[in-house]
Amino acid sequence: MSDPWQECMDYCVEVTKQAGKMIQDALRKDISIMQKSSPVDLVTETDQKVEELIISSIKKKYPSHSFIGEESVAAGASSILTDNPTWIIDPIDGTTNFVHRFPFVSVSIGFALNKQIEFGIVYSCMEDKMYTARKGKGAFCNGIPIKVSEQQDITKTLVLTEMGFKKDPEHFRIMMANMQSILSIPVHGIRTPGSAAVNLCLVACGAADAYYHMGIHCWDMAGGSVIVTEAGGVVTDITGGPFDLMSRRLIAASRHGIAECIAKKIQQFHCGRDDTDD
C-alpha cells in the first residue's frame, strides 16, 4: 500500500535539492542585499526566488495544501496554522551567513498535518548535508541515521544560541545576561552558527548538546524540531514546558535534564507569536 506522506516527503527532498542548487549557484555571484525591519534583518533576491521555486513546485503537485513562508509572510501573507496540510518554509535560513558566505546556510521545510509536524527537511547547502526526519521513522543525514549525544552532565555540554541586534535595550541586556548565566554553570562553551535550522540539526547529530533561542519564527523551527525529536532529543518551550511551534521560542536538547537546567538559568523576554499580531 502506498504511503502518501512518504511520497510527499520524497517529493519535498527533490524540490529542496533544486532550491539548494539555486543557493549554491547564487553564492558564486554578486549577492543583491535588501533590508527588512532593521539594518541587520536582511533579505536577498535569492531568498525570494528560492521560496517562489519551492511553493510553485509544491503547489503544482499539491494544489489544496497551505503554505507559511518567511518571505510570503514578510510580504503580508498569513502565518496562521490550520489543520490543513501545511508547508512551513524558510528558503534561506541564515541569510546573513549567505551574504557573508559563512558556511551555515540552509533550506528548511516542515510539513504539518492537523497542526502537528509530520516530517522535516533541512538542507545545509554549503556543507551538502541533507537532514531528514519523519514522525516515528527516525532522523537521517544524507541517508545515514543520526542520534543526539548521550551527555547528561550539563557541565560537559556545548550549547548553541544566537545573538544579534535588539531594538529593545532590555531584550539586549537579557540576551547577554543569559549567555553569561549559561557559561557560568559552567558549560564547555557557547556557539552561535547563525542558522536556527542548522543549530537544531547539530543537536540532532550530537555535535552540540543543546540550543536555546527567543525571537525566532515557526519557519526557523518547523523542519529541525522533528529532526531533533526523531534523533532521540527533546524540544521544549523556553520555560521547559511543552513546545509550541508558533511561540517564537524553544529549547532543544539531547536530554530532558539538560533542557530543564537551561530553562532554570535563562530569563525570558516577550517576543510575541507567529499566529497573532501581538
Active site residues: 70, 90, 92-93, 95, 220
How far is the C-alpha of 248 from the C-alpha of 171, rounded, in Å?
14
Q: List strand residue ranges (DSSP E) for the chain, in order.
A: 33-35, 42-44, 66-69, 86-93, 106-113, 116-124, 129-134, 138-141, 144-145, 158-160, 189-191, 210-214, 234-236, 249-253
Which three cell numbers, joined as nine digits, stand for 239?
520555560
Phi, psi of 91 (to 5 degrees): -65, -40
Nearest to 230 by CA among 136, 159, 109, 131: 136
Q: Give the C-alpha separation, 1 to 16, whole Å.
A: 26
Question: Alpha carbon of 193 to those of 139, 148, 190, 250: distances in Å?
Answer: 21, 18, 10, 16
